[in-house]
Structure 1
């Protein structure tokens, strides 16, 4: 009888030990890494599939964004001429920062650094932020590359007006890939994702301001029209929100209120049009 008790206890000990080994295995860096990279690709696919699941409010938001972009399209050339009045007075370091930070190579160095810091420090919240940054940049970067070539809009520095297009180019045509703005998308995607870590509205505003510098720099340097930058900024918000809500299902650490939705308020008046986005 004692031998049976001993054997029974031994089997329980072996089972518990195997469970502990399994749990320990699941917490290795490699398993965390493969899990996160899977979420990166799934997040990209999820963001591209969302239009097939849109409902009334989602289509309304798309309509608001299209209407706002159309309004800016009408004044692109005038804004570019207006910027001529202070273009030379913009500090060079701001323009250099904007052009370099929004560069894809520099962007992935930053987003990859954030993710690896979270991975090696075993900080799930930071890991999740890195996954959000990498997946958002990948989704929006690929979308920008394809759409810019298909649309073929002239850049301001081409010498053509904002209404000139050379569409459906498989290869890159220099100065005819203005819409949308890749630098703006990558920079503001990062800023919006990072700002989610903070609740203080002043901290958020500061991060958003830094994230908008590349868009301002690209307008100043005559790489983009104001409508390119505005559209790209709003699209970045949509992309980050879509992927972040998907990641809510994948990680325990949450820093956003998934019950919130983007809301738009349009106001019209004599010689005035206003668009307010609450998020």
Structure 2
């Protein structure tokens, strides 16, 4: 499964190579590497500083996100029961993919492969994509680790209810539920890669692959629905923030004329879904 994930990202890298011609061949790879790594760290810092610059629209978006998370919190118990009940009906290959794709070691293996392909080929678009993937995963990943330890929410598989917390309790993994780390890593990758394409069907396929690890956390009993919802929101906001920063650092832009992505949660009898428009 790990190899299949890596193959997907290698194929993606070659697709980007076919779409873009390098314009920076006069620079040495060491110069490119130091420039890119600098942008990775600056991008992380930029994403953390954004709340200090929020205006009315930014705070409104934050409010909508908290509202959506709160609504999903109300149905955490029945949705957890439903998804855990269908676990044995899910094919093993999908279950394995859901776990492996969202794990940190696999995430950095594949995002590193994208960046190294761009560095070796001196392809700015791939280098920028790699920088976006690495900085987004690092920024959102660190944030979720802090939140998990600070909030100390019990996981569904612990046998405790959704309202059980041990704030600032970092020693017990059963109290590291909020938000979902697998969701964050998978969706930061999906959102960053989907920005490379204009075709709606391609985007849909990428987001579908990215959503499987998120949903897998529900049937595995690792997270509640509200953990996953907030994880998706953190992923999208982090990628968008760092991508705007990288716009000022690289000539290659992503689909300048493309529509902005919008998203909302859909609830219905026996179902829950994330609706994306692009």
Residue 58 of structure 1: aligned partner: 58
Question: 1:85 offset after TM fit, Å?
Answer: 3.6
User: 1:79-228 residue pairs with structure 2 within 5 A?
Assistant: 79-169=79-169, 171-228=170-227
Are the structure 2 counterparts of residues 243 and 220 from structure 1 closer, same or farther at C-alpha, using a change threshold of 3 Å? same
The C-alpha deviation readout for 1:184-217, integer Å capped at 9, x for no partner, is: 0001100110111110000000000000110111
Residue 250 of structure 1: aligned partner: 249
Question: 1:172 offset after TM fit, Å?
Answer: 3.4
Question: 1:120 offset after TM fit, Å?
Answer: 0.3
Does the CA-based 8 Å contact 1:102-1:214 persist in structure 2?
yes
Question: 1:261 offset after TM fit, Å?
Answer: 5.5
SS at match of 1:175: helix
Q: Distance in 2 between matches of 1:94 and 1:60?
A: 36
Larger Rg: 1
TM-score, normalising length: structure 1:
0.84
Residue 9 of structure 2: aligned partner: none
The C-alpha deviation readout for 1:71-122, integer Å capped at 9, x for no partner, is: 1101100111222442211111111111111111111001111000000001
Question: 1:140 offset after TM fit, Å?
Answer: 0.5
Q: Distance in 2 between matches of 1:264 and 1:106?
A: 27
Are the structure 2 counterparts of residues 32 and 185 from structure 1 closer, same or farther at C-alpha, using a change threshold of 3 Å? same
Are the structure 2 counterparts of residues 69 and 188 from structure 1 closer, same or farther at C-alpha, using a change threshold of 3 Å? same
Q: Distance in 1 between matches of 2:255 and 2:42?
A: 20
Does the CA-based 8 Å contact 1:68-1:275 persist in structure 2?
no
Give structure 1 stretches of 5+ with no counterpart: 1-23
Are the structure 2 counterparts of residues 263 and 58 from structure 1 closer, same or farther at C-alpha, using a change threshold of 3 Å? farther
Q: Distance in 2 between matches of 1:40 and 1:81?
A: 40
Q: Runs of 4 or more off by more than 4 Å in structure 1?
A: 258-268, 273-279
Question: 1:173 offset after TM fit, Å?
Answer: 1.4
The C-alpha deviation readout for 1:141-173, integer Å capped at 9, x for no partner, is: 10011110000011000000111111112x331
Question: 1:124 offset after TM fit, Å?
Answer: 0.4
